[in-house]
Amino acid sequence: MIRTICVVLLWVYSSLSCAAGAGGPALLDANINLSNKVSLQRGARLFVNYCLSCHSAEYMRYSRMAADLELSEDAVKSNMMFTTEKIGETMRVAMAPEDAAKWMGAIPPDLSVIARAKGADYIFSFLNGFYSDSSRSTGVNNVYYPGTAMPHILWELQGEQELASESDDEHGGHGPALHPVSAGTMSVSEYQNATRDLVAFMVYVGEPAKLVRYRIGFWVITFLLILLLATYLLKREYWKDVH
């Protein structure tokens, strides 16, 4: 019996450690906060300014985003819409996919559900994982997606990073270490916060109903608490004469 348990435990343990090791370097923790509207607004602004030139978010309408993120439609129209005039439009991209394939060798995927497909931590890691690599036509490579065709769009904000050689990898196997070589317009923590906002926005775009659920959830719980109080008072009232 004990032997069987040991074998099962060993099997579970080994399959878990295989699963952890199979997906490449350990991901960074995105640690997003979906209830932080300001973070989502900053993420939306970064997205339209830096990503929408190549990536669409075909399932997302500007009007819906304005309502969910508590932005005025006028503000969205004048500051965030570059490919259309209509607030009811979805987030399309101006570039034709064939051109993208010709210029970059890969078509930038639609990012509507990328966070659901790949996970928030992966996108956060990907955006923080670019490092200089002169052998690549884009001049960069990525720890989490080796050989990616995507250039490091946010390099001006982050600055340049370099892959540490094996010997000075202090992380002890927890993913490769990247060292800043030149500073960007943001500090390290500012860049991490900016990419965190961006990932939060991607997660929201992947499932806009989540925000509605949070809102409704709050009122449902409040209602239940009030109901609980009322029920308790009623119970006290009924049992008053029994004791």
Residues 6+ positions from 45 with CB-CB distance below 8 Å: 79, 80
Q: Pick the closer one to ligand HEC by CB: 29 or 74.
A: 29
Q: Pick the closer one to ligand HEC by CB: 110 or 169.
A: 110
Q: Are 198 and 43 spatial neighbours (Cβ–Cβ below 8 Å)?
A: yes
Piece in contact with ligand HEC (CB under 6 A), picked from 16-24, 29-37, 101-109, 164-172: 101-109
Q: What is the C-alpha to C-alpha distance for residues 191 and 128, in angstroms, rounded to an integer?
A: 9
Piece in contact with ligand HEC (CB under 6 A), picked from 104-112, 181-189, 224-232, 234-242: 104-112
- For the bound state, the minimum distance from the C-beta of residue 30 to ligand HEC, rounded and expressed in Å, comes to 12
Does position 155 interact with ligand HEC (CB under 6 A)? The reply is no
Cα angle: 178, vertex 185, 199; to 5 degrees: 65
**Largest Cα–Cα separation, the chain:** 87
User: What letters, b where the CB count within 10 A reaches 16 and e where it falls short, cover 210-233?
Assistant: ebeeeeeeeeeeeeeeeeeeeeee
Q: Pick the closer one to ligand HEC by CB: 73 or 107.
A: 107
- For the bound state, the minimum distance from the C-beta of residue 184 to ligand HEC, rounded and expressed in Å, comes to 13
Does position 48 interact with ligand HEC (CB under 6 A)? The reply is no
Q: What is the C-alpha to C-alpha distance for residues 97 and 177, in angstroms, rounded to an integer?
A: 34
Q: What is the C-alpha to C-alpha distance for residues 199 and 124, in angstroms, rounded to an integer?
A: 6
End-to-end CA distance of the chain: 55
Q: Pick the closer one to ligand HEC by CB: 73 or 90.
A: 90
- For the bound state, the minimum distance from the C-beta of residue 39 to ligand HEC, rounded and expressed in Å, comes to 15
Which residues between 56 and 95 bind ligand HEC (CB under 6 A)?
Answer: none
Piece in contact with ligand HEC (CB under 6 A), picked from 19-27, 50-58, 79-87, 184-192: 50-58
Of 67, 87, 104, 113, which lies in the binding site for ligand HEC, with binding defined by CB under 6 A? 104
Of 50, 73, 84, 193, which lies in the binding site for ligand HEC, with binding defined by CB under 6 A? 50
Of 65, 80, 150, 203, which lies in the binding site for ligand HEC, with binding defined by CB under 6 A? 150
Other beta carbons within 10 Å of 52: 21
Tell me, by CB under 6 A, how many residues bind ligand HEC. 22
Which residues between 201 and 240 bind ligand HEC (CB under 6 A)?
Answer: none
Q: What is the C-alpha to C-alpha distance for residues 178 and 2, in angstroms, rounded to an integer?
A: 46
Q: Are 126 and 133 spatial neighbours (Cβ–Cβ below 8 Å)?
A: no
**Chain residues that interact with ligand HEC, rule: CB under 6 A:** 50-51, 53-55, 104, 106, 108-109, 114, 118, 123, 126-127, 145, 148-151, 153-154, 198
